[in-house]
Structure formats: structure tokens, C-alpha cells
Chains A and B, each alone.
Chain A
């Protein structure tokens, strides 16, 4: 009887260990599959795969390089972070520090609710909206005025804008990451003990000084984690980018202007994977996936190490 019970416990424990090991197994499978799938292209191109700007699938003249798409990925994500993180912080400040007034305190609850809900909207829908609605807004009210004013004199604004470029992609990515980044920032700032605020206010600090000197230092690692999470999302985002970045290929995908069409690693994979005409081209696309994997893993591991060293709570999943 006792033996049977102990065996039952042991079996149960083994089943749960098996499930936990499945996570590691999947990670191993991901590394193996991406490595194996891209072996052909790394054998064919060698290190040139990272530095070449060619993308030529024509038989007999094949040449593949990932550089333009690495650049496209990094700059569109940089725009997304540069716009998305300050706005998210603004929302978090509003929701945690400014909602003391009569009207504001009624507003902040529903607002936080709606923003959290929007974190669940699929990115393909952001993409659809960006392609058919937002693109024209950007084109008519931001890009055309800039082009008309500076297009002749400054090369950075010198390409006729169509609204389908890395700048648009970056802004839409920013809008996409705002719900999740601001939700995490809000949670993190809400977790700062009130004694921090009281201490700062009692010294005569203004609200902004309180936020800057008493709250940000305390919530630093969580905010950093939120930004990293946003960066990870922006870098890996596929569908939205595919729809609005203009899908340039080869050297043309390296932007010469704010309004140049470009291409990211993930958007090129999505565009060409099913139309790949040869094993080599498919392997090149998986090679882009390998670069993307390395990029995000590096970010995630650095973020995880940085955040867990400072606080013992993982970002984004606080109660």
C-alpha cells in the first residue's frame, strides 16, 4: 500500500518533469532546425551572408546576403522604441501618478482596462489598419509636408514618399508595442511603495521630480525589462511590417532616406518562404531566421540577466 502510493507520486513527478523537459527539448529543436535548415546557405555564402547586399535567386547566378534586412530590422525597431517607450512611460505616469483629481481618477480605471485589452489585438489587424488607414494619415500629414519643405535641400527627406516605408513601419510598430509596454510600466510603477512618493513630496519635490528621483530609480529594472520586451516584439514582428514596409529587396532595401521602402528579416521570410524557387533560396530564408533568432535570443538573455540581477521578479507578470 505504502509502496504503491510512493510509486504513484513518483510517476506523477516524472510526468511533470517530462513536461518541464519538453520546454528545453523545444528550444533544442528550434536551434537544431534553424541550424540544420540554414546549413546549406552558410556553406554556400560563408561569412559573406552577413555582409553581402545581394538577393538573387535566379538559377546559376544565386547570391544571398542578409545585411539590408538586418539594417531594416534594426532601424524600424529603433524608431518603434524611440517613439513607443516615451509614450508608454507617459501613459504609465498618467495612470499611476496623475490620476488623483476628481475626473482623472474616474478615467484611469477604464483607460487602463482598454489599453490592456488592446494588448490582445492580433498584429495582423494592426497591419490591416496601417495599410488601409494610417498609411494615408502619415503620408498626407507628416511625410508630404516634410518632403515638400526639405526634399530638395536635405537628402534624408529626398525620396518621394508613398507611406510604405521603414518610417511608417516603425511608427506602427510603436503603436503596437504601446499597450504591452505601458501595461508593464504601470504595474512596475504601481508596485513602488508610497513611502517613496511621500518622502519626495515632503521634501517639496514637484510631481515630475518625484517621478524622476523617487520612482524611476526604484522601478528602473522593470521599465528596462518592459522596453526590452517591446524591442523583442518589434524585432520579431512579421505581418504588420510585411504590409507597410514597402518590401524592397537587395541593396535597395538599405534606406537612403526617411521615406525609402525597406525590408526586415521576418518580412522577407514571410514574403518569399512559400514562393522559394530553390532549396538554396529556402535555406537563405531560414538563414535570415537564424540571424533573427540570434538577435532576439541575445536581447532576451541580456534582458533576463539584467532584470533578475536587480529584482527577483520577472517583468510583465507581476500581480
Chain B
């Protein structure tokens, strides 16, 4: 009797410990898988940055940065027009996109209730954030390139602004919503008109968050390639007019990578380094300032 009871206990004990050791094993396996995925990603992403840095610096020189591209296959020239074009197109797109995005965000946070129109705007704003950029390129092509009759800076900037606006709108709305209501109430109780409460009190206290959103949106559109193919087209010349074609870094990288010459590939790496310095410089600089001044930066992925 005594013996069989202890057998019984032993069986349960074995079962539990067997089960528990299997649980521990599964737990170990998952931990190892998690560490492995971290190592895999770090190696892959590290490899990207390292290759761009190593191969890019080989191509870099002052002439490379300011000269126009040489004849295909010549091994000469640089990416001057591409750098200039990226700055112009992105600058123009930001000049269109940032104000519209901020104003729309102000509307959603300060004026809109929970009616049908604002919820429509919010819903389709989120849809717009996720649309493929090449589709937006097609839209700019049909709307501007076809009607105006030529590839142009305008068309490229228009396309990039469509990508930028929903990002800025969303970040602005969410940043403004964090501003405590007591600040608005304080303004209203002093008899300040609503527009001044919004611009002088609410916007001011949310400034850093909104600027963060704009900078991240700018760094995202700076790397866009697909919509530029059918809008600014790309050229070997420096900028001449807003209604004509222009070059851009991502576009130039693509063209260089598609050529069958080793020097073109080296140039491609050089252009990639310049582009990555611009894009990461923007978001890294922002994060450093953010850390110093104590505000948070959100993630906006590239296209």
C-alpha cells in the first residue's frame, strides 16, 4: 500500500518534471531563435551600411560631387546634377506638403469632432500613407506630365508632396492631441481668439513634435525613386527650369546600377553614400537634438 502510493507519486513527479523540462527546452529554443533573428538582422543591416560606406568612399571626390555625368562607358563625370536635383525637388515638395499637412493635422485635432467628414479624412489619410509610391508617380504623370506636355520638376514635387502630406497630417494631429486641454482653456478664458490659441499656444508647445514629423517625412521622400521615373525623368544636365526634367540621386543610382560597367557601379555606390548621408544625417541629427531636448521621435519608414 505504502509502496504503491509512493509509486503513484513518483509517476506524477516524473510526468511533471518531464513536462517541465520540455517546457524549459521550448523556452530555450525560442530564446535562441530570438537571439538568432537579432544577429541575422544586425549582420544583414550592418553589411548594407558597411558596403555603402566602403564602396562609396572609394568613388568620392570633389569632382565626383560637382561634375555632370560623362558619356556612358567613359568612366568620367560625377553626380552634381543629381545632388542638386534632389535638393530642388525635395525642397519644393516640402514647401507644398508641409504646410498642407500641418493645417490638415490642425483641423483634425482642433476643429474636427467625431463627425463623418473628419473620420473619412482620418481613414483615407491612413490609406494614403500606405499606397505604393509608383502608383502616385502614375497619378502625377497623368495629371501633370500629360497635361503640361513635358516631364518636369513640378510633377516630381507634386508626387512627393502626395507622399509627404498624409505623414505630416498624422504626426501633427497626434502631437497636438498630446497638448493638455488646460492650455487651450487658459487661452480661451483670456478672451484670445481661437486661431491665436491654436497658432500661438497649441502649435508652439507642440513645435518640436511637428518639426520631427516634417523632418522624418522629408528624409523619407528624399529616398523615393519610383515616382520620379515618370515625373522628372532624369537628365545629365544641371537644373534649368521648373517645367523641365531634372536629375535626382535615387534615380541616378538606379541608372548607374543598371549599366554594365564596373565604374558605373562604383559611381552608384558613391551616389548611395551621398544619399544615405543626407537621409540618415537628417534623422540622426534630429534624434540627437531630440535626446538633448528631451522629446520623442517616431518611426517613419522609407519607401
Contact = CB atoms under 8 A, between A and B. Distances in A.
Given A117-B280, A122-B222, A124-B250, A273 B34 contact: no
B173 to A, nearest CB: 10
A273 B230 CA distance: 7
A233 B301 contact: yes
B195 A293 contact: no
B194 A175 contact: no
Chain B CB count within 10 A is highest, among A17, A117, A122, A123, for A122
Contact of B52 (A89, A116, A129, A207): A129
Contacts, number: 295
Interface residues of B, number: 102
Contacts of B284: 117
A160 to B, nearest CB: 21
Contacts of A70: none
B12 to A, nearest CB: 16
Contacts of B224: 122
A19 B280 contact: no
B160 interface: no
Contacts of B254: 124, 127, 239, 242-243
A274 interface: yes
B37 A90 contact: yes
B45 interface: yes
B179 interface: no
Contacts of B219: 120
Given A15-B103, A289-B134, A128 B253 contact: yes
Given A33-B142, A123-B225, A23 B30 contact: no
Interface stretch (B19-27, B58-66, B70-78, B236-244): B19-27
Contacts of B229: 270, 273-274
Size range of the chain A interface in the assembly = 35 or more
A98 interface: yes
Given A9-B195, A314-B126, A317-B174, A286 B142 contact: yes
B281 to A, nearest CB: 10
B15 interface: no
A127 B195 contact: no
B104 A115 contact: no
B127 interface: yes
B128 A274 contact: no
Interface in A1-45: 5-6, 8-9, 12-13, 15-24, 26-27, 29-30, 33-34, 36-37
Contacts of B94: none
B88 interface: no
A209 B28 CA distance: 11
Contacts of A86: 37
B301 A238 contact: no
Given A98-B34, A121-B48, A125-B276, A292 B27 contact: no
A131 B224 CA distance: 18
A30 B135 contact: yes
Contact of B226 (A126, A238, A299): A238
Nearest to A28: B124
Interface string B19-49: 0000110110011011111101110110111
Contact of A120 (B30, B34, B162, B220): B220
A152 to B, nearest CB: 31
23 contacts: A12-B195, A12-B198, A15-B103, A23-B125, A24-B120, A27-B128, A30-B139, A30-B162, A34-B135, A91-B34, A115-B45, A120-B220, A121-B276, A121-B302, A122-B275, A124-B225, A208-B27, A232-B130, A238-B132, A238-B134, A239-B250, A273-B229, A304-B123
Interface of A: 5-6, 8-9, 12-13, 15-24, 26-27, 29-30, 33-34, 36-37, 86-91, 93-94, 98, 111, 113-129, 131-134, 175, 178-180, 182-184, 206-209, 211, 229, 232-233, 235-239, 242-243, 266, 269-270, 273-274, 286, 289, 292-293, 296-297, 299-301, 304, 314, 316-317, 319
| A-B pairs, 5 with minimum CB distance | A122-B223, A236-B132, A90-B37, A19-B103, A16-B107
